[in-house]
Amino acid sequence: MTSALQNLGALMRELRRAGGMSLASTAEAAGTGKSHLSHVECGRDRPSAELVAFYEERFNADGQLWTAFIEMVAGPRPRQRLAAASGYPLAGDESTFVADITPDAVIMPPGFQFEKIWRLRNSGTVPWIGRWLRRVGPPAGLGIPSSPWQVQIPATMPGQAVDIAVPMRAHSLPGTAEVHWKMVNDAGYEFFPDRYPEGIFTTVIVRDGAPNPEIRRLE
């Protein structure tokens, strides 16, 4: 049976070949070794999120690779069993949503690059150290805004508030998209698996011919 790792590698190889790039030139452009890249495309080595992001952008994968990557990372285990085995949630761990620092549901033109910022408060007794905000579902694709797969959350002590910023790019097709994130650790375990099922989210509205919104634009 073909593994998720092999499926991802094969898809990366097909996209590279369709894009007309050699293995050597792709490795150089991606800042990795040719041997490692060959092992990735053969399903022997696991690619980093950064390498998947490079292939996604360079070969216009429209989220295909992110879907395969997330399948590989998540594996076949049920979410409930994974949460139970991980020992989460932690006793005394609480969070409170404070505000959307940048406005939500903003109308913008296709491809507009911006930064979404939320403010959360550590309202529990557990320090937030080594935590990430990870996107739920593929971080790019046809009809959905693109963003990094995850961003690190600054260390936040109990009682402190923290601003979490995610660079984003609006989708290219007109329409409305809602994107969700959850707080996780380095291994991907959710800190609040039985609470806040929707996580934090933002809504992006794309309209052809819309003016640039009055939010900070990323270049």
Three-state SS at 64: helix
- pLDDT score of 74: 63
Superfamily, domain 4-76: lambda repressor-like DNA-binding domains (1.10.260.40)
Average pLDDT of the segment spanning 170-181:
89
Tell me the torsion sign for CA atoms 177, 169, 138, 102.
negative
* pLDDT > 50? residue 193: yes
Exposure on the CB side of residue 34, measured as CA atoms within 13 A: 6
- pLDDT score of 31: 93
Instruction: Name the most confidently modeled range: 59-73, 82-96, 139-153, 173-187.
Output: 173-187
Beta bridge partners of 31: none
* pLDDT > 70? residue 54: yes
Q: What percentage of the chain has pLDDT greater than the value 90?
A: 43
| pTM of this structure | 0.67
Task: Tell me where in the chain the CATH 2.60.40.10 domain(s) lie.
Answer: 85-206
Q: What is the DSSP letter of 37?
A: H
Domain 85-206: which topology?
Immunoglobulin-like (2.60.40)
Measured at the CA of 203, the angle between CA 137 and CA 154, to 5 degrees, comes to 70
Average pLDDT of the segment spanning 125-130:
93
Task: Tell me where in the chain the CATH 1.10.260.40 domain(s) lie.
Answer: 4-76
Measured in whole angstroms, the distance separating CA 80 from the mean position of its chain's CA atoms is: 21
- pLDDT score of 68: 80
- pLDDT score of 75: 57
Three-state SS at 88: coil
* pLDDT > 60? residue 141: yes
- Token pair 């360079």 in the structure block, residue: 58
Residue type, 25: S
Q: In this structure, what token pair is assigned to residue 205?
A: 């509205």
